[in-house]
Amino acid sequence: MQNVEFLLRAAISAAASAREHGNHPFGALLTDEQGNILLIAENTVNTGGDATGHAETNLVREASQKYSFEELSRSTLYSSTEPCPMCSGAIFWSGIGKVVYALSEERLYALSVHSTESLKLACRDVLARGGRPVHECLTLFPTLIEPLYAPAAQRNVIIFHAGDNDIGQGRNADQTYAAFTQYVALAHRQGWRVVVSTEFHVPHFNAEREAQLEAYNTMLLRNQAGADAVVDMDADPRFLDLSYRSDPALFRDPLHPSDAGLAIMLDRLAPAIRRVAGR
Ligand SMILES: [Zn+2]
């Protein structure tokens, strides 16, 4: 049994996940009468190439396959944002008994300054037309979701950490950096900002490959590609000194940091990410 705020936070996490996957930031989940989560869904409009891939419609589609109308009449749908008229219709036909959302449609439109399209019809009004009593149709905790629509949240940042594979496959530093330069240009054309970290040294590289990796890292730091920030991982001795690679607290194998190692990486990256994102 979870409380309403917890459940709305979970729906909002699904909305954040949708944004990370390249979709619009909307998420929804379904609970049984006791508040146990049955299903979670997120918006898939962009990645699915389907304008009807709203979080709630995706959720209803899955819910109807798994549960009867009768079971759904006792369930509650929690959504990061008030369901649109299409989703409200889907919710009605599914039989779902209650709807709770964080942000109202009205507030969403007020926040979405870039949106030129709108279809203004409250969830409550759609459901009321069905003549079936909907027990709740509530806006709660809207401030939990509003940051996802704030301009600062819309500054997309890519964290780039790659290059050793190219060198491992026999490409030299120039070729590897040329590929990275093209990547930055493409990302910038699409409106992304790029934070790049230097590559980790690879213990099994021979001297020639190690020299190419070193040269690639030097090019990254010189940053002729115009990345928005470059973070030097070698500045931390725990990443530079290969004797740490056998320490399971920091590395899960000689190449890949463990959770603690990743936390150190993130710590090094965070100031650059904040600076680039303007936060
Ligand atoms: Zn919708």
Enumerate the β-bridge partners of residue 257: 251
So what's the pLDDT on residue 120?
Answer: 86
Type of residue found at 113: V
Q: Is 145 exposed, middle or buried (0-12, 13-18, 19+ CB in 10 A)?
A: buried
So what's the pLDDT on residue 155?
Answer: 63
C-alpha span between 135 and 98 (Å, rounded): 6
So what's the pLDDT on residue 113?
Answer: 52
Question: Closest by alpha carbon to 101, among 124, 123, 79, 86?
Answer: 79
CA torsion 162-163-169-172 (nearest 10°) is 170
Q: Is 31 left (phi over 0), alpha (psi -120 to 50) or beta?
A: beta
Q: Report the catalytic residues.
A: 56
Residue 83 near residue 46 (C-beta atoms within 8 A):
no
So what's the pLDDT on residue 112?
Answer: 67
What share of the chain has pLDDT > 70, as a percent? 93
| Cα(250) to centroid(ligand 1), Å | 44
pTM value surpassing 0.75: no
3-state helix, strand, coil in the chain (%, to 5): 50, 15, 35
Tell me the mean pLDDT per 10 residues along the chain, length 279.
Answer: 84 92 92 94 94 97 97 94 94 93 86 69 87 67 77 71 88 95 86 89 92 96 96 92 90 88 90 83
| Cα(48) to centroid(ligand 1), Å | 15
| Cα(52) to centroid(ligand 1), Å | 7
| Cα(12) to centroid(ligand 1), Å | 15
| Cα(90) to centroid(ligand 1), Å | 9
Summarize pLDDT for 86-110 with one digit per residue, the tens. Answer: 999 999 999 998 999 998 888 888 7
